[in-house]
Structure 1
Amino acid sequence: MATGSKSVNAAAVVLPLALGQFIASYAATNMNVAISTIAEDIGTTVTGIQTTITLFTLTMAALMIPGSKLTDFLGRKVCFIAGLVIYGSGALLSAFAQGVGVLIVGYSLLEGIGSALLIPPIYILVTVVFEDVDLRAKNFGIVSGAAGLGAAAGPLIGGLVTSYLGWRASFFLQVAVILLIIVLAVRITDPPRTGRPAHFDVGGAILSAAGLFFVVFGILQTSTYGWLKSREDFTVGGTVLIPAGGVSPVWIHVAIGLVILVLFFRHLRRVERAGRTPLFSLRIFRSRASNLGLVTQLLQWLVLQGSFFVTSVFLQQIRGFTAIETGLVLVPATVGVLGSSALAERMSRRHSQRRLIRFGFSATTVGLLLLLALVRADSGIWTFVPGLLLMGIGIGVMLTASVNLVQSSSPEEAQGDISGVSRSVSNLGSSLGTALVGSVLAGAAVPGNGPFAIAMVLLSCLALAGVVTALRIPRQKLH
């Protein structure tokens, strides 16, 4: 009888958390298949929608750490529900958007802020509610699988909804799911915390958000100005600061961001030495396994979002596919993520986390190379299947493994800190993935075979870097 009760309690906790992670990941990819449709409907360009998508993940990345820290003050359940309310409001506003400005406010900002509040409590709650390592790994598998499934199924569901009901219906669908999650979340029991911090590190929150914003915003500007030489004049307030042909202003933004991030880490050290509570403790970086796990999280989400974006643009602009046709072509990736995520618990019992991460990146690299070798502007649909399927399997395998590695490498009192950093790194990867491949496609007159190949080579190299990183993860017995 006790076991049954525990099962019911576990389901009551994990179901709303998994649904919350699913809808946040879905929101990051479902827009890809409707890029052309939305751009035409609201009178903007593909680059404008790309900017909207990138700003969504950028907002999450910039605010994930402050959002995670707020759980120490407001409680995990309160932050989770507050995030859902803000997210749902943004989705509702986006559904009625008549221009790109409103879409940015609703989708990029409100849904991004909501995600930054609701995602960290998901991973903290799984860690603190389930003390048994095997049970925790199982539920991390469910939540991480929901993340991968949401990202992978986003194009298919978004394509179906857009084709039959219109792109606005996709946002109404998100509102409906959010309402369901809120009802389910009321039953979550949040374990009490002891020793709450005396103050919130406002300075640290501002520095971290500003630093991450400038770095990714700079990379996003490559679609306009290029990487090395500026394709057009860079102006501020009507004054030309860098003429066309000069050094790309991309590096100015990135440099500003890096300087701010250096100041941020110095701020953390100073606050910690003064005996106050920083935005997060630098002690979380003492674990080599956790640090390398964070790198793999950044790379896997970069590759996932980048590959989905470039494939979606290629299918719509070169092959002339509709939203639903694009979503159907991406089904093999969805199947791969879903199948491997379903086996996550069984695989974690038989293999170490580092071995699973190595396999995941290896499979993903091979999948990308197959896409590069087989897909052409006039090739058959079957040419997409092997690469997308193998890529989906690889990503599904390593998503759960890397989250479990990072979260379980830190003690309970550091879960708020590591969860925020972990989710911020993952969403930073998502932002960079869309920005990097988007800049490659935007730099070409027509995103055909050549630009598509360049983008795939770039993503393959980054996936290979993930393999190298995973090989360096030490053997470690998780907490």
Structure 2
Amino acid sequence: MTPHASAEGTSSALRRVLIPLALAQFICSFAGSNMNVMINDISHDLDTTVENVQLTITIFLLVMAALMIPGGKLTDRYGRKRCLTVGLAVYGVGALLSAAAPGLGVLIIGNSILEGVGTALLIPPVYILTTLLFTSVSSRARAFGAISAAGGVGAAAGPLIGGLITSAISWRAAFVFQAMVIVVIIVLSRRYLRDPLPADPTRPFDTTGAVLSAIGLILVVMGILVADDNIWLTLGLIVAGALVLAWFFASVRAKERAGQEPLLSTGLFRNRTSNLGMVTQNIQWLVLMGVSFVVSAYLQVVRGYNAVQTGVIFTAATVGLLLSSLTAERLAKRYAQRTLILAGFVGTIAGIVVFLAMIAVSKSIWAFVPGLFLIGLGIGAMLTPSVNIVQSSFSEGLQGEISGLSRSVSNLGSSLGAAIAGTILVAGLTKTPERAYALAMITLAVIGIAGLVAAVKLPSTPPAPAAAEPG
């Protein structure tokens, strides 16, 4: 039987495989955004500040980004399904601990650390298994479309679902909801998922590389987080992070020259198409999480809306994202992936412009809808093609590495989005809160333009997948 035999079975079997994979991406994306509408409730209940709760959110996103590369590499050694299951279990424990948190410290351990570590273990297997199980262009586009849609909806609908649960019960129930979904995923994955490739317990793991890459990423993002407090500390942390990352790449090259297996193959960075695709991925998630953060905070702090009202307003983005994501397969058959990514960035930037223009001239709740809808529509249109371009750029032998790197880049974008937006909001760059929020949105639009430039440089027809290279 070939490695893909089980994948090429009936369409119903393929759909069953997709359910736990899509749910896993949904709940992780949900966790990254649903706390945005619970900031006030959590800060009051735990007797802490809004800034500390925002820091908890950012640490969760940062832990994901810092550990995603090692998490992807571990799948080769211990197996994709096993890493998925362990990640789900760790995540579930973190969710329950967060639900019972008596103070901020326990919430950080449960939500930021355990859920972050669990996500880093479970997300790479989701994308590796999808790439290995869905081998044709159309089936892979369909699969990534469903998973990207689930992730995008989780991020966009997080404020609504979190708001409803918080208002109806409490913010703690939102974490219990996450734990319940995790149980469902574990049951479904044990029943339907099969790992098409055997694990290799003898596969070496680059512990030094894992530590260096994680420390480097953490220092860079922490530098952005403290930008409003001390510019010299900011520069120091960013420079230190850059130096640690340079040390990491030097370590990788040294291991390759010695014939050892590093955490990442430098061959991953020689693929121009993949590099550009990862840039677009990073910026997509940066803009999505940044917009979610800014809009949710604006609605609660400036407009005084409660969690449910905030979530309902943000539904416009959810609807737009869902519409475009679920048509991924159909669009992939009609248009080049580059075209879809370009259209997505144009739509997202236009949505931010419309959003700012509408709320500047109208105080109506409906003024938020057109811009948020366009933002969701644009981001949803490019999530799937960006993932497909990156994953399809490499052969099966490099799927563990590229999946971890790709997801790390995306989650780094999420953490940067929250960090950059939060820094602008609390930096006091303007005298009025409304202008601070507008400045944050304008910054996200400018970053979106950088993503558009990267998309322009993508080839119309991606080259054949690259095989593993020795270095």
Name the TM-score, length of structure 1 as normaliser: 0.93
Q: CA deviation at 1:3?
A: 11
Q: Could you tell me which amino acid in structure 1 is paired with residue 213 of structure 2?
A: S
- The CA deviation string for residues 59-78 of structure 1, in whole angstroms up to 9 with x for no partner, is 00000000110001110000
- The CA deviation string for residues 189-228 of structure 1, in whole angstroms up to 9 with x for no partner, is 10124766631100000000000010011111124x0xxx
Q: Could you tell me which amino acid in structure 2 is paired with residue 452 of structure 1?
A: Y
- The CA deviation string for residues 429-467 of structure 1, in whole angstroms up to 9 with x for no partner, is 000000101011112387621101110110110111111
Partner of 2:91: 87
User: Which of 458, 465, 468 is matched with 2:443 structurally?
Assistant: 458
Asked whether 1:399 is paired with 2:383, we answer: yes
User: Which of 212, 217, 223 is matched with 1:207 structurally?
Assistant: 212
SS of equivalent to 1:186: helix
Whether the 8 Å CA contact 1:376–1:449 is kept in 2: the answer is no
User: Which of 66, 73, 91 is matched with 1:69 structurally?
Assistant: 73
SS of equivalent to 2:375: helix
Whether the 8 Å CA contact 1:72–1:197 is kept in 2: the answer is no
Alpha-carbon separation, structure 2, partners of 1:389 and 1:478: 35
Q: CA deviation at 1:346?
A: 0.3
SS of equivalent to 1:98: coil
Alpha-carbon separation, structure 1, partners of 2:373 and 2:394: 33
Whether the 8 Å CA contact 2:7–2:134 is kept in 1: the answer is no
Q: CA deviation at 1:104?
A: 0.4
SS of equivalent to 2:195: coil
Q: Could you tell me which amino acid in structure 1 is paired with residue 23 of structure 2?
A: L
Partner of 1:241: none
In the superposition, relative to structure 1, how do residues 322 and 478 fare at CA in structure 2: closer, same or farther (>3 Å)? farther
Asked whether 1:111 is paired with 2:111, we answer: no
In the superposition, relative to structure 1, how do residues 256 and 113 fare at CA in structure 2: closer, same or farther (>3 Å)? same
- The CA deviation string for residues 105-155 of structure 1, in whole angstroms up to 9 with x for no partner, is 000000000000000000000111122221111101111111111101101
In the superposition, relative to structure 1, how do residues 276 and 320 fare at CA in structure 2: closer, same or farther (>3 Å)? same
User: Which of 48, 51, 60 is matched with 1:47 structurally?
Assistant: 51
- The CA deviation string for residues 371-424 of structure 1, in whole angstroms up to 9 with x for no partner, is 121214971111111110000000000001100010001111000010000000
Q: CA deviation at 1:11?
A: 2.1
Whether the 8 Å CA contact 1:318–1:377 is kept in 2: the answer is no
Partner of 1:286: 270
In the superposition, relative to structure 1, how do residues 85 and 194 fare at CA in structure 2: closer, same or farther (>3 Å)? closer
- The CA deviation string for residues 63-104 of structure 1, in whole angstroms up to 9 with x for no partner, is 000011000111000000000000000000000112111110
In the superposition, relative to structure 1, how do residues 370 and 206 fare at CA in structure 2: closer, same or farther (>3 Å)? same
Identity %: 52
Asked whether 1:344 is paired with 2:328, we answer: yes
- State how many pairs are aligned: 457
In the superposition, relative to structure 1, how do residues 194 and 43 fare at CA in structure 2: closer, same or farther (>3 Å)? closer
In the superposition, relative to structure 1, how do residues 14 and 323 fare at CA in structure 2: closer, same or farther (>3 Å)? same
In the superposition, relative to structure 1, how do residues 365 and 3 fare at CA in structure 2: closer, same or farther (>3 Å)? closer
- Give unmatched runs, 5+ long, in structure 2: 1-5, 466-471
Partner of 2:403: 419
SS of equivalent to 1:294: helix
Alpha-carbon separation, structure 2, partners of 1:327 and 1:251: 36
Q: Could you tell me which amino acid in structure 2 is paired with residue 212 of structure 1?
A: L
Alpha-carbon separation, structure 1, partners of 2:184 and 2:175: 14
Partner of 1:18: 22
User: Which of 145, 151, 160 is matched with 2:155 structurally?
Assistant: 151
User: Which of 313, 318, 328 is matched with 1:329 structurally?
Assistant: 313
Superposition RMSD in Å: 1.6
- Give unmatched runs, 5+ long, in structure 1: 231-246
Alpha-carbon separation, structure 2, partners of 1:93 and 1:377: 44
